[in-house]
Amino acid sequence: QVQLVESGGGLVQAGGSLRLSCAASGRTFSSYARGWFRQAPGKEREFVAAISWSGAHTVYADSVKGRFTISRDNAKNTVYLQMNSLKPEDTAVYYCAASSYGGSWWVGAHENEYDYWGQGTQVTVSS
């Protein structure tokens, strides 16, 4: 059974940091692009960041560029999202995803490009 399990969410004050992890099991995702999305209350799920399966290419939403960093460890089948300088508007449920769509350089920013999804982890940033 394929599973993506997020961890590392929690409550943090504005300006603080959190590191999310997404561990995969059930298959090897080393040749899958990985992404992070988030959904705030009353809003649609939105793209946050993505990384190619080689790790050489990344893309970020403008709202998190310069504050968030996505990385991966293929040996551990895990992707990370380091979130710094957090703002109250970053409050959301964060989801990780995996995509078999493209080659080693490919990164995707659209939900329909991802095959597997985690259950999400809550991030709350207080002002």
Q: Which of 25-29, 36-40, 59-63 has the lowest average pLDDT?
A: 25-29
Consecutive H or E run containing 70: strand 68-73
Among the listed residues 46, 41, 33, the one whose alpha carbon sits nearest the alpha carbon of residue 97: 33
Which residues sit opposite 60 in a β-bridge?
Answer: 49
Tell me if 113 sits within 8 A of 99, measured CB to CB: yes
Q: What confidence tier does 8 reach under pLDDT thresholds 50, 70, 90? A: very high
Q: Are strands 3-7 and 18-25 parallel, antiparallel or unpaired?
A: antiparallel
Question: Quick one: pLDDT at residue 28?
Answer: 82
What single-letter amino acid sits at 54?
S
Q: Write down the residue that tokens 């960041």 correspond to.
A: 49
Question: Quick one: pLDDT at residue 1?
Answer: 80
Which tens digits make up the pLDDT trace of 60-114? 999 999 999 999 999 999 999 999 999 999 999 999 999 988 788 899 999 999 9
Average pLDDT over residues 19-29: 91
Cα-Cα end-to-end distance for the chain: 40
Taking residue 69's Cβ as centre, other Cβ atoms within 10 Å add up to: 16
Tell me if 91 sits within 8 A of 63, measured CB to CB: no
Taking residue 70's Cβ as centre, other Cβ atoms within 10 Å add up to: 23
| Pair of tokens at residue 54 | 């080689």
| Position 18 pLDDT exceeds 90 | yes
Question: Quick one: pLDDT at residue 102?
Answer: 78
Question: Quick one: pLDDT at residue 76?
Answer: 93
